[in-house]
Amino acid sequence: MEKIAIEGSPKTPTINFDTDKGFLEIKGRSIPENSIEFYKPLVDSLEKYAGKPQSVTNVNIQLEYFNTSSSKCILDVFKKLEAIHKGGSAVTINWHYEEDDEDMLEAGEDYQAIINVPFKMIQME
């Protein structure tokens, strides 16, 4: 299955999706003006992956900043993961936040309240 490796930029995050290992990571900053375009390849790839997922899917989210335009797209990504979780792959979303960054922790909790997938809140030093 096709893998995704997108290098980060000042406004967009690094994305690695290894479909063989069932591992997805999004890290860095996500503050593009038009985020739908940016997230489309990942959303499409998750759609395909949902047809034949690994038994376990680990997701690492480690964002320093994200804007509200990205927050919608991240929700779309999580909705795909929710479907994959329902379909039998054990999905875990590891939501990283820096110590003292209450806003980022709260953002993770917002998603946790909407999405039916186990979340782990991981504080970084």
The contact mask relative to other proteins for 56-85 (x = CB under 8 A, - = no) is: --------xx-xxxxxxx-x----------
Strand 90-98 to 119-124 pairing: parallel
Q: Cα dihedral sign for 95, 55, 45, 47?
A: negative
Smallest gap from Cβ 65 to other proteins, in A, equals 6
Smallest gap from Cβ 37 to other proteins, in A, equals 8
Q: Would you give the distance in Å from CA 110 to the centre of its chain? A: 14
Question: Which of 31, 42, 93, 117 lies at the binding interface for other proteins (CB under 8 A)?
Answer: 31
CA nearest to 81, candidates 64, 93, 72: 93
Does 46 sit near other proteins (CB under 8 A)?
no
Angle 114-27-113 (CA atoms, 0-180°, nearest 5)?
10
Smallest gap from Cβ 120 to other proteins, in A, equals 20
Does 98 sit near other proteins (CB under 8 A)?
yes
Rounded-to-integer distance, Cα 28 and Cα 10, Å: 9
Chain residues in the site for other proteins (CB under 8 A): 10-11, 31-37, 64-65, 67-73, 75, 98, 100-104, 106, 110, 113-114
